[in-house]
Amino acid sequence: MKLSLATMNTDILIIGGGCAGSMAAIRAKELAPDTSVCIMEKGHIKRSGSVTMGMDALNVVIVPGVSSVSQYLNILKRKCCDLVDEAPSRVLAERSFQILKTLESWGVFFPKDDKGNYLLMQVDDEGRFCVGMDEPDLKLILAKKLRESKTTVLNRTMVTKLLVYEDRVIGAIGLDINEGKLILCEAKSIILANGSAGRFGLPNTGYLYGTFDFPGNAGDGFSLAFRSGVKITGMEYTLRYPLIKDLSIPLLNIVLTRGAKVINNRGEVVADQSRASVHRLIEEVDKGDGPFFIQMSHLSKAKICEIENVLFSTERPMQRRYWELKKMKFNRDLIELHPTEAQLCGGHGLSGVVINEFAETNIRGLFAAGDVSSVPMQHLTGAFVFGNVAAESAVKFIESAGNQKIPEKYLEEQFNFETKRIIGITNRVDNFIDNTQYEYKVRRVINEYLLSPKNAVSLNKGLGLILELREQLPLYLRVRSLHELCKALELEYILDCAQMSAIASLTRQESRWGSIHKRSDFPNTDNENWLKHIDIQIGEDHSDIKVTFRSVQKEGRA
């Protein structure tokens, strides 16, 4: 397998072309049309990121006259057990309605009632912040806006390394996985927007790609940032959702808001339209009263048709085929729920790159947006809001920071080092374990040792196994094609995330967020000692990790 080499320059490099990355590029070109903007996207810009196609709702919108920013922040703090930096979440809330109006002006469809009001849904035990959306072509609309803005898009290109000189990001190295080309990209500013660690824990089916979140999200952004000295936080927040058993596809918010119920094994209703909190349902599942089922037999035919329309067009079209093969009907059969695989995510949880209200990281010129960033439970709204914020900050940074003189020798050394590393991986053709077997082992270790209920013995055992698997990777993992090279790099990202999660979980000597971080050796929540963030940074190498504590910010920068 031969790799070719190429170089390029851009003003702003955006890593990841999902909703956050696409919005960042569109906003940057809107603010500074002459600025060169490039997106490196591991998939294809038309069908990329967690949304991939379309979406049925914007989960966080402060609609004037209906809800308030302070109301949203109070509910968010309760959901996060008060571990929330207020400033970024306030920006998210304050700019949410304008994002809706912007999307609407682009042709994104938000249904309204007879009085012209947006359809609002309650997806928690209180508060109505979720606005219904019916847009199966959301990603196509964004791709069209990108073409109009003349943004350069490199599809099928995964970033393998960020380049930092002194205290400033100066570029990245990408791998074109179609053509086998390593690309050195010099950039004045970079926006990380390449998603969560969705491929983290192992689904109950054992199928590696049967994940709740987009399976292409292997923690690339977390790992790239970590290896570059960026602060990562919330890696102990190992979230599992109760979703369709054996499928792990979103369903609860869509059906509960339309009148469905969740019942336990005794037929008792544990969640309905007025008690729709997924996080509370997680606690119900953890009590052991399962199996749990979604019940829709009491709904009208019109309501069943409405649910099917959302699920089979906007959310995941393959669901129609799934239910047909199982000969199941929503108006007749119970749908069993089961906890998904664990994930680390800023969109649904609070894991990710530490940013402030300006999307700034601790590295100058490096910004982050979307699921890769730690803005708690920001969902799709956060991707759009902080895509905008990151673009505004990147444009401002380029204008104020000026050009930095980078020694050519430094760039050459970094490119040569990464080229040698990648070529070394492609030379593993004689090794005897393929990537699927290796990844299954890694993620089984995560399931067995790093998830709740957690304790020091289990976490230390898991951490030791993760470090061993990292050392064994070059000795045993076979790489014979560009596809297998991509999977080998993703395995390194998963291992990085597992190591960070184990260390963060070991450090937080308390239980918090219910079953998400439950320590059997520290069963109580300890606000006096642990109402603070645990931040992770790389040291001299992977075995040397710095752990620091950061106070919860009530206002100002994180």
The per-residue pLDDT for range 469-487, each reduced to its tens digit, is 999 999 999 999 999 999 9
| Exposure of 260 in the CB half-sphere (CA atoms within 13 A) | 27
Q: What is the pLDDT of residue 543?
A: 74
On average, the pLDDT of the chain sits at 94
Give mean pLDDT, residues 217-221: 96
**Is residue 38 a contact partner of residue 14, using CB atoms and an 8 Å limit?**
yes
Give mean pLDDT, residues 54-80: 94
Give mean pLDDT, residues 387-402: 95
316 alpha-carbon distance from chain centroid:
18
What is the tens place of the pLDDT at every residue in 427-450? 999 999 999 999 999 999 999 999
Q: What is the pLDDT of residue 356?
A: 97
Give mean pLDDT, residues 206-223: 93
How would you classify the pairing of strands 120-121 and 130-135? antiparallel
Any idea what DSSP says for residue 211? -
What is the domain partition of the chain in residue ranges?
4-195+345-401, 243-339, 428-543
**Is residue 393 a contact partner of residue 367, using CB atoms and an 8 Å limit?**
yes
Does the structure show a pLDDT above 70 at 272? yes
How far apart CA 470 and CA 379 sit, in angstroms, is 32
Cβ-based burial of 115 (10 A; exposed 0-12, middle 13-18, buried ≥19): exposed
Identify any residues that bridge with 480 across adjacent strands, giving them in sequence order. none
Q: What is the pLDDT of residue 159?
A: 98
CATH fold label, 428-543: Methane Monooxygenase Hydroxylase; Chain G, domain 1 (1.20.58)
Does the structure show a pLDDT above 60 at 281? yes
Give mean pLDDT, residues 39-43: 97
**Is residue 525 a contact partner of residue 514, using CB atoms and an 8 Å limit?**
no
More confident residue, 187 or 251: 187
Q: Among 323-327, 389-393, 500-504, 529-533, whose mean pLDDT is lowest?
A: 323-327
Identify any residues that bridge with 165 across adjacent strands, giving them in sequence order. 168
Q: What percent of the chain has pLDDT over 90?
A: 84
Indicate the SS3 state at residue 552. Answer: coil
The residue type of 105 is S
Give mean pLDDT, residues 356-362: 98
**Is residue 131 a contact partner of residue 284, using CB atoms and an 8 Å limit?**
no
Q: What is the pLDDT of residue 503?
A: 97
Q: How confident is the model at residue 557 (pLDDT cuts 50, 70, 90)?
A: very low
Q: What percent of the chain has pLDDT over 70?
A: 99
Q: Among 96-105, 151-160, 284-293, whose mean pLDDT is lowest?
A: 284-293
How far apart CA 377 and CA 391 sit, in angstroms, is 21
Q: Among 115-124, 390-399, 453-462, 488-497, whose mean pLDDT is lowest?
A: 115-124
More confident residue, 9 or 542: 9
The number of residues making up the chain comes to 558
CATH annotation of 4-195+345-401: 3.50.50.60
Q: What is the pLDDT of residue 293?
A: 95
Q: How confident is the model at residue 555 (pLDDT cuts 50, 70, 90)?
A: low
Does the structure show a pLDDT above 80 at 417? yes
**Is residue 30 a contact partner of residue 149, using CB atoms and an 8 Å limit?**
yes
Cβ-based burial of 155 (10 A; exposed 0-12, middle 13-18, buried ≥19): middle
Does the structure show a pLDDT above 90 at 519? yes
Give mean pLDDT, residues 511-538: 97
Tokens of 463: 């951490």
> At a CB cut-off of 8 Å and minimum separation 6, what does 384 contact?
19, 20, 23, 99, 102, 103
Q: Which residue has the tokens 């570059």?
A: 228
Does the structure show a pLDDT above 90 at 2? no
Q: What is the pLDDT of residue 407?
A: 86
Does the structure show a pLDDT above 50 at 189? yes
More confident residue, 212 or 236: 236
Q: What is the pLDDT of residue 556?
A: 47
Q: What is the pLDDT of residue 541?
A: 74
What is the second-level CATH architecture of the domain 243-339?
Answer: Alpha-Beta Complex (3.90)
Task: Supply φ then ψ for residue 370, to 5 degrees.
Answer: 85, -155
**Beta-strand (E) ranges in 130-246?**
130-135, 152-154, 157-165, 168-176, 181-192, 232-233, 242-244
